């Protein structure tokens, strides 16, 4: 029942550990007969190579690190699900680290991941992170690194992201076509990649339909709790009032929804909401909100696939590129009604 080692097999078969080791990995310079013997015995004893010893030896640890802001988040939990699925059937394990949106913890987590000798690292930046030297170091050490969702252009790595620009464009366009003109944008910290991409899509749609961009309609949040209410109140204080809200996250969408209810604003008559969310949340919100659905799981899968490619073909120089996974607009009643109102 105790763990079987190469030594055990060697002793039992009167061989040396090196022979057993070679036989096990099917070395061509070994007697087929011996090989068979070893294989069978190993099978019988249910031998499994000790990954710890392998890691120490310096070869692969068969583990990949995943650094995310939070696990208890619809997007990331689904992304991790996708990552784990790919990793599992490629024989890798997933070690998870949470930054809780803290730069310090991100740095610490990177160090820990290195100490654990992960074969590669998947990372989605914390909202506090602007300096990426801790990751530049890794690249210089040639560690396989893939960024996903929240990425930094300063890092020359493969990136896997949702099509934030197109998603934001589609959402804004849909609101415009539903007859809305004063479309507010509730979003997340200014400097993040996803914030800027979504803002750009929002602006582009406004421009295309000849609606002037109004700085006052854009509100940047942090990831703090319950901040949507304050933001919504600020918007409601303006005149004329906004007639729609496009939010950059599921939390803000839900927060805005709750805030409008609390202020007795009727949806969709007085206001429409479209949020950037993901499948789980979209289902839950049905039929009250239209949403831009982020393919969280696919992003995770794609990121894991790229990383494992990188790990296993380290020698070959694959140029880093950016993989954009489409996000699609899922139209629900609230905006449909508004749409008919507008026509």
Partner DNA sequence: TTGTACGCGTTATCAT
Partner DNA sequence: ATGATAACGCGTACAA
The footprint of DNA (CB under 7 A) covers: 3, 5-7, 14-19, 21-22, 24-25, 27-31, 33-35, 48-50, 53-54, 56-59
Q: Please report, for residues 201, 226, 253, 269, 340, the alpha-carbon distance to residue 232 in angstroms, rounded to integers and kept in the order given.
A: 21, 11, 11, 17, 25
- Pick one of DNA, a copy of itself, none as the site partner of residue 34 (Cβ within 5 to 8 A by kind): DNA
Alpha helices for 263-322 (secondary structure H) = 279-285, 296-312
Three-class secondary structure of residue 201 per DSSP: helix
- Which C-beta is closer to a copy of itself: that of 75 or that of 165? 75
Q: Which residue is listed with tokens 């019988």?
A: 44
- The full DSSP string for 130-183 is ---HHHHHHHHTT--EEEESS--TTS-SEEEEE-HHHHHHHHHHHHHHTT--SE
- Pick one of a copy of itself, DNA, none as the site partner of residue 89 (Cβ within 5 to 8 A by kind): none
- Which C-beta is closer to DNA: that of 11 or that of 261? 11
Three-class secondary structure of residue 218 per DSSP: strand
Shortest gap between Cβ of 131 and a copy of itself (angstroms)? 17
Q: Which stretch binds a copy of itself (CB under 8 A): 31-39, 122-130, 135-143, 171-179?
A: 135-143
Report if residue 263 touches a copy of itself, rule: CB under 8 A. no
- Which C-beta is closer to a copy of itself: that of 46 or that of 239? 46
User: What part of residues 219-248 is at the interface with a copy of itself (CB under 8 A)?
Assistant: none
Shortest gap between Cβ of 29 and DNA (angstroms)? 4
- Pick one of DNA, a copy of itself, none as the site partner of residue 111 (Cβ within 5 to 8 A by kind): a copy of itself
Contact criterion met (CB below 8 Å) for 149 and 278 = no
Q: Which residue is listed with tokens 């790990």?
A: 311
């Amino acid at each position: 029942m105790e763990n079987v080692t190469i030594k055990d097999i060697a002793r039992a078969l009167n061989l040396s550990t090196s022979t057993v080791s070679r036989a096990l990995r099917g070395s061509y310079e070994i007697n087929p007969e011996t090989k068979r013997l070893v294989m069978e015995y190993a099978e019988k004893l249910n031998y499994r190579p000790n990954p710890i010893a392998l890691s120490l030896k310096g070869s692969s640890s068969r583990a990949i690190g995943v650094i995310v802001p939070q696990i208890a988040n619809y997007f990331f939990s689904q992304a991790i699900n996708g990552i784990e699925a790919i990793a599992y059937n490629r024989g890798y394990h997933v070690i998870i680290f949470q930054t809780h949106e803290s730069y310090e913890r991100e740095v610490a987590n990177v160090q820990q991941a290195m100490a654990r000798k992960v074969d590669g690292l998947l990372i989605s930046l914390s909202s506090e992170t602007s300096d990426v030297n801790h990751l530049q170091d890794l690249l210089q050490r040639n560690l396989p690194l893939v960024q996903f969702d929240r990425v930094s252009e300063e890092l020359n790595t493969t990136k896997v992201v949702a099509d934030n620009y197109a998603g934001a464009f589609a959402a804004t366009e849909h609101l415009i076509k539903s007859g809305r003109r004063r479309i507010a944008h509730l979003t997340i910290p200014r400097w993040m990649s996803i914030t800027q991409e979504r803002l750009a899509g929002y602006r582009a749609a406004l421009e295309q339909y000849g609606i002037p961009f109004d700085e006052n309609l854009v509100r940047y949040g942090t990831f703090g709790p319950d901040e949507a209410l304050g933001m919504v109140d600020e918007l409601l204080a303006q005149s004329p009032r906004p007639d729609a809200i496009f939010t950059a996250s599921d939390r803000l969408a839900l927060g805005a929804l709750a805030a409008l209810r609390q202020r007795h604003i009727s949806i969709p008559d007085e206001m429409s909401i479209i949020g950037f969310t993901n499948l789980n949340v979209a289902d839950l919100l049905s039929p009250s909100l239209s949403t831009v659905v982020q393919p969280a799981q696919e992003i995770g899968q794609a990121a894991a696939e790229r990383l494992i490619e990188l790990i296993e073909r380290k020698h070959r120089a694959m140029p880093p590129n950016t993989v954009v996974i489409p996000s699609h607009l899922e139209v629900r009643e609230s905006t449909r009604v508004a749409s008919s109102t507008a026509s």
